Chain A
Amino acid sequence: MVKLSLKNLSRSFGDVKAVDDINLDLEDGEFVSLLGPSGCGKTTTLRMLAGFIPPSAGTIEMNGRALSNPASVVPPEKRQMSMIFQSYAIWPNMTVAQNVGFGLGVRKLPRAEIATRVKRILDVVHLGALAERYPSQLSGGQQQRVALARAIVVEPQVLLLDEPLSNLDANLREEMRFEIRRLHDEFKITSVYVTHDQSEAMVTSDRIVVMNQGRIEQVSTPVDLYAHPKTRFVASFIGKTNLIDARSENGNVVFTGGAWPLAAFGVTPPGQRFQLSIRPHDVKLGREVAPGAFAFKGRIAERAYLGDVWDYAVAVEDGQFQLRVTTTPRDMFEVGDTVYCAVDPSIVAMVE
């Protein structure tokens, strides 16, 4: 069942189109990330969902009823959503319990029930012992948990998360990613998560919406997005990749220094001209190559040892282009060595 529906949604600030005609449906209970570089329109989209800003064009619907259109907007407080802010926005004048119970109080629940529900949710986020503390006495990670508890306890129709982990240090961030996913698995709240960090999006999300310059580039599951990027932006934003200009000609994929049969790729090219996206770890380096295998011939131009992997730059076909290759620490080559880079075309993506 479609929970939330964004139709032809746009938002301009002056001449700048922050969000440019996006369409998106969220299923009930789904966890969706809006992923993109800063300025791609993801936060603007989230704030439109929350009702803090009206759209310039298009509509937002929840459960089939309109929430936002350019003429009128259901105010944030009437949307039955909740949100986790980048700054956490934990009110320093209230204790942890008062913060978490605030939304229940606004909903006029009986005092006793508020207390029980606050206690239960604080236990879920492992803050049971800190209920009477003030926010200034908490660490960053604990404040983050208060924000989570405060947003979840009201059992919102939709949970919005605005880069909630960007103020935490690296270790804590990793831990909280799993925490957020765990809470989602437990409460099944339809969630929209804004981030610029691809691993955050991949750990937490059912689907990822990659945004760039106000538009949606691609919407898919983490696995599919990585394996089958549709555009060069998605291919290079999600993980590292090698992009090689190519064109389709007489049943062959033709690129600098070679032409491989289209059938080997097993996909339809997105157009006449496109690029091949080859992940660095999908390339096998070797001193020789089996006859008939698909491979580039090249020379090691640079190398870097990173402990868990070798990172090679291979100058292919007399330096016509360069290929980045990562291998296990045992695959050792010296700079200047001649190597073959074997590639399985069936795992190469073709991007616009």
Chain B
Amino acid sequence: MSDIALQPAPAAPGRLAKLVPFDPSRLLWFGLAAVMIFLVVYPLWQIVSVSLHDGDGNFTFDNYATAFGRPRYIQSFINSLWLGVCACVLSLCFAVPISWGLARTDMPGKGFVWLGVIGAYVMPPFMGAIGWILLAGPNAGWLNRVFRSLSGMDMALLDIYTFSGLVFVVALYSFPLVFVFVNAALELVSSEMEDAGAILGASIWHVARRITIPIVLPTIIGAAIIVFLEAVSLFGAPALLGTPARISVVTTTLFEFFSNPVRIEVAAAYSMPLLLITVVLFLLQYWLIRRRGYVTQTGKGGERRMTKLGPWRWAFFAYGFGVVLLAVILPMMIIVQAALSKAWGRGFSLDNLTLNNFRYILFDHSTAGQTVLNSAMFSFWTATLAVTLTLLIAYIVNRKLVPFSGLLGFLAVTPFVIPGIVLAIGFYAAYAPPPLALYGTGLIMVLSFTTRFMPVAYINAASSMRSLHPEMEEAVRILGGSRITAIRRVIAPLLKRSLAGAWLIVFIGATRELSTAVLLYVGSTRTMSIMIYDLSEEGRFEQLSALGLVLVFATMVFVAIGFRVVGRDFMLKRS
């Protein structure tokens, strides 16, 4: 019991000071720093660098002149910003009343509406866009056909191939983001604050408008900025809805620069202003959320009672139901119908019914099997890599094991401001050329996805590390267990659930990832989301819907597992 000795063994007092003990955490820091440079710093640096050089490596500003030399390109840029603003406003209109209704009132059918919001959250936006093409395409769209047969008029009521159609679809699938933030903030507002207004004679509406909503206003604005960032970064919906109508946005224009011939320098230059905007807005929203508004964050902000709405509660339910109808029920119905049809335009009849679409995309199609497998493999490795990496970073940052450990945390959230397609440009510029020549490999897909989802994983990992008292680990060590024993026997078991949650979130995100993949894939590394996009270009909506259903169904299964493992906070936890 007494075989303890100083490591290294005590030397003469004069020489002792020179012995620097080997510190494995420092080595880990260097390893992680190298990985982060590879995944984040170098691709970002390459975007800047490539944008400032011509093909022969000479310094030039010509790329910027080309990128912004045509009115059409400038128009795309304006379109993107305008799309961001409009989608932002519309998603607030969708989200705020629903959040208030669910968090603060006695509206009926809360469970249903809540499920609907989750449905809208997990629905890939490009699937929503396809649903709405089938519903509101000017000629064959179901809603237009119903309108024509009812009214007898020969015109289209709705046209989804318009700018407002695009705004509508983008807002419909980004409002759950606002909901997550605002709902969480509203749940923290104490009823006493509302009571204080009511006792002075204010009506329900007056209290909501002048007290409750203003208290969470900073949160609302912060969430709106996130929706803006999301809207300007989207590729799928603008490509599906805007391109046929000759409405281009930044992401679709970037895609254009990438089709033959690939003009990566111009694409890099063109993405610069967008990157600048996202960085500024992200800092702004960070600052806003950081201030946390006026909400008391004690977690026991007094009693919370539901505001009684009287007959108005049915109006709130109707509104929530309406949004869920538009976002989930109608698109899903039409997608199911198309997936089970020989020709989706022929409508609901028995002789139109078939399972051939599923057979085709799962078995008959030459590369579909490979595609499904690709999606599963890429997502699996992305989630595993991102969670492992961010857990190690969160551990080092939280325990402050080495100086400047916070820098790693900063790098881990940096990709949040990089739109997916811009990130793809960075990876292309950095790793497509020799010596690595990763273009066309599965590896570049996994690595770029990992970078893309690192912020989400990091925020999860960091918050679970914070919830773990350092003394839990110190207790292991003083009883004779090493750091590794502590991680294996205590930290890992305690973080198991939340890490599983983070893994699922990244996995789900990766299965539907389109904007990064679309620039980096080749035939053999095609994913399900790319295949859906390709099928829609070919107008094969029946098979596409079948594939989409497979994707949505698989997602549902994973979401259900997530709720089972993590509980109600899964995916909806405010970061």
Q: Which residues of A contact B (CB under 8 A)?
A: 50, 52, 62-63, 65-67, 69-83, 85-87, 89, 91-93, 102-103, 106-107, 150-151, 154, 157, 160
When A66-B10, A71-B17, A93-B494 are in contact, do A83 and B4 touch as well, CB less than 8 Å? no
Partner among A63, A69, A93, A102 whose Cβ is within 8 Å of the Cβ of B2: A63
7 closest residue pairs by CB, A with B: A103-B479, A89-B471, A89-B475, A76-B477, A85-B471, A106-B480, A93-B493
- Tell me which residues across on chain A come within 8 A of B482, comparing CB atoms: 75, 77
The answer to the question of B16 belonging to the interface, with a C-beta cut-off of 8 Å to chain A, is: yes
- Docked-complex contact B7 and A72, CB < 8 angstroms: yes
- Docked-complex contact B6 and A50, CB < 8 angstroms: no
- Docked-complex contact B21 and A73, CB < 8 angstroms: yes
The answer to the question of B472 belonging to the interface, with a C-beta cut-off of 8 Å to chain A, is: yes
Closest to B1 in A: A80
- Tell me which residues across on chain B come within 8 A of A65, comparing CB atoms: 4-6, 10
- Docked-complex contact A77 and B481, CB < 8 angstroms: yes
- Tell me which residues across on chain B come within 8 A of A75, comparing CB atoms: 7, 477, 482
In this complex, the member of A66, A89, A103 whose beta carbon has the largest number of chain B beta carbons within 10 angstroms is A89
Q: Which residues of B contact A (CB under 8 A)?
A: 1-2, 4-8, 10, 16-21, 469, 471-472, 474-482, 485, 489-490, 493-494
Closest to B10 in A: A66
A-B contact pairs, 6 of them (CB 8 A): A71-B20, A72-B7, A75-B482, A82-B479, A91-B475, A91-B489
Closest to A54 in B: B21
- Complex CA distance for A36 and B490, rounded to whole angstroms: 33
- Docked-complex contact B472 and A91, CB < 8 angstroms: yes
When A71-B20, A93-B494, A106-B480 are in contact, do A76 and B6 touch as well, CB less than 8 Å? no
Partner among A83, A93, A106, A154 whose Cβ is within 8 Å of the Cβ of B474: A83
When A71-B17, A72-B7, A87-B469 are in contact, do A81 and B481 touch as well, CB less than 8 Å? no
Partner among A63, A89, A107 whose Cβ is within 8 Å of the Cβ of B480: A107
B402 vs chain A, min Cβ distance (A): 14
Partner among B7, B16, B478, B494 whose Cβ is within 8 Å of the Cβ of A82: B478
- Complex CA distance for A63 and B5, rounded to whole angstroms: 11
Closest to B6 in A: A66
- Docked-complex contact A80 and B480, CB < 8 angstroms: yes
In this complex, the member of A65, A86, A93 whose beta carbon has the largest number of chain B beta carbons within 10 angstroms is A93
- Docked-complex contact A72 and B8, CB < 8 angstroms: yes
- Tell me which residues across on chain A come within 8 A of B490, comparing CB atoms: 91, 93
- Tell me which residues across on chain A come within 8 A of B479, comparing CB atoms: 77, 82, 102-103, 106, 150-151, 154
A97 vs chain B, min Cβ distance (A): 15
- Complex CA distance for A348 and B427, rounded to whole angstroms: 80
- Docked-complex contact B20 and A83, CB < 8 angstroms: no
- Tell me which residues across on chain B come within 8 A of A73, comparing CB atoms: 6, 21
- Tell me which residues across on chain B come within 8 A of A93, comparing CB atoms: 490, 493-494
- Docked-complex contact A67 and B1, CB < 8 angstroms: no
Partner among B6, B474, B475, B478 whose Cβ is within 8 Å of the Cβ of A72: B6
When A78-B4, A106-B480 are in contact, do A89 and B19 touch as well, CB less than 8 Å? no
Closest to A85 in B: B471
- Tell me which residues across on chain B come within 8 A of A103, comparing CB atoms: 479-480
When A66-B10, A86-B471 are in contact, do A81 and B21 touch as well, CB less than 8 Å? no
- Docked-complex contact A83 and B6, CB < 8 angstroms: no
- Complex CA distance for A71 and B13, rounded to whole angstroms: 10
Closest to B477 in A: A76
- Complex CA distance for A86 and B482, rounded to whole angstroms: 21
- Docked-complex contact B478 and A79, CB < 8 angstroms: yes
In this complex, the member of A71, A86, A154 whose beta carbon has the largest number of chain B beta carbons within 10 angstroms is A71
In this complex, the member of B18, B19, B476, B494 whose beta carbon has the largest number of chain A beta carbons within 10 angstroms is B476
Partner among A74, A106, A151 whose Cβ is within 8 Å of the Cβ of B6: A74
- Complex CA distance for A3 and B490, rounded to whole angstroms: 32
- Complex CA distance for A58 and B5, rounded to whole angstroms: 17
- Complex CA distance for A70 and B21, rounded to whole angstroms: 11
- Tell me which residues across on chain B come within 8 A of A107, comparing CB atoms: 480
In this complex, the member of A65, A72, A83, A102 whose beta carbon has the largest number of chain B beta carbons within 10 angstroms is A72
- Docked-complex contact A71 and B493, CB < 8 angstroms: no
Closest to B469 in A: A87
- Complex CA distance for A213 and B481, rounded to whole angstroms: 33
Question: 8 other contacts beyond A77-B485, A87-B471, A102-B489, with CB at 8 A cut-off?
Answer: A72-B21, A73-B6, A74-B4, A76-B477, A77-B481, A87-B469, A92-B494, A150-B479
- Complex CA distance for A85 and B16, rounded to whole angstroms: 32
- Tell me which residues across on chain A come within 8 A of B7, comparing CB atoms: 72, 74-75, 78
In this complex, the member of B20, B479, B481 whose beta carbon has the largest number of chain A beta carbons within 10 angstroms is B479
- Docked-complex contact B480 and A85, CB < 8 angstroms: no
When A66-B6, A74-B7, A106-B485 are in contact, do A81 and B16 touch as well, CB less than 8 Å? no
When A71-B17, A72-B19 are in contact, do A77 and B471 touch as well, CB less than 8 Å? no
- Tell me which residues across on chain A come within 8 A of B493, comparing CB atoms: 93
Closest to B481 in A: A106
- Tell me which residues across on chain B come within 8 A of A160, comparing CB atoms: 478
When A65-B6, A71-B16, A71-B17 are in contact, do A76 and B494 touch as well, CB less than 8 Å? no
When A67-B6, A74-B6 are in contact, do A83 and B21 touch as well, CB less than 8 Å? no
Partner among A67, A71, A150 whose Cβ is within 8 Å of the Cβ of B19: A71
When A65-B5, A71-B17 are in contact, do A83 and B494 touch as well, CB less than 8 Å? no
- Complex CA distance for A50 and B470, rounded to whole angstroms: 14
- Docked-complex contact B480 and A154, CB < 8 angstroms: yes
A19 vs chain B, min Cβ distance (A): 19
In this complex, the member of A70, A73, A91, A103 whose beta carbon has the largest number of chain B beta carbons within 10 angstroms is A91
A1 vs chain B, min Cβ distance (A): 14
- Docked-complex contact A76 and B10, CB < 8 angstroms: no
- Tell me which residues across on chain B come within 8 A of A86, comparing CB atoms: 471
A135 vs chain B, min Cβ distance (A): 11
- Complex CA distance for A324 and B532, rounded to whole angstroms: 87
- Tell me which residues across on chain B come within 8 A of A67, comparing CB atoms: 4, 6
- Complex CA distance for A75 and B8, rounded to whole angstroms: 11
- Complex CA distance for A71 and B476, rounded to whole angstroms: 24
- Docked-complex contact B480 and A77, CB < 8 angstroms: yes
- Tell me which residues across on chain A come within 8 A of B19, comparing CB atoms: 71-72
- Docked-complex contact A80 and B4, CB < 8 angstroms: yes
- Complex CA distance for A52 and B486, rounded to whole angstroms: 14
Closest to B492 in A: A93
When A85-B474, A93-B494 are in contact, do A72 and B4 touch as well, CB less than 8 Å? no
- Tell me which residues across on chain B come within 8 A of A69, comparing CB atoms: 6, 16
- Complex CA distance for A318 and B554, rounded to whole angstroms: 90
- Tell me which residues across on chain A come within 8 A of B18, comparing CB atoms: 71
- Complex CA distance for A80 and B8, rounded to whole angstroms: 18
- Docked-complex contact B21 and A79, CB < 8 angstroms: no
- Complex CA distance for A72 and B17, rounded to whole angstroms: 8
- Complex CA distance for A279 and B218, rounded to whole angstroms: 57
- Complex CA distance for A67 and B8, rounded to whole angstroms: 11
A271 vs chain B, min Cβ distance (A): 36
Closest to A103 in B: B479
- Complex CA distance for A70 and B13, rounded to whole angstroms: 11
Partner among A50, A74, A87, A92 whose Cβ is within 8 Å of the Cβ of B5: A74
- Complex CA distance for A91 and B21, rounded to whole angstroms: 30
- Tell me which residues across on chain B come within 8 A of A72, comparing CB atoms: 6-8, 16, 19, 21
- Tell me which residues across on chain A come within 8 A of B10, comparing CB atoms: 65-66
- Complex CA distance for A42 and B19, rounded to whole angstroms: 28
- Tell me which residues across on chain A come within 8 A of B2, comparing CB atoms: 63, 80
- Docked-complex contact B474 and A76, CB < 8 angstroms: yes
- Complex CA distance for A67 and B4, rounded to whole angstroms: 9
- Complex CA distance for A63 and B4, rounded to whole angstroms: 11
- Tell me which residues across on chain B come within 8 A of A157, comparing CB atoms: 1
- Complex CA distance for A102 and B481, rounded to whole angstroms: 9
- Tell me which residues across on chain A come within 8 A of B480, comparing CB atoms: 77-78, 80, 103, 106-107, 154
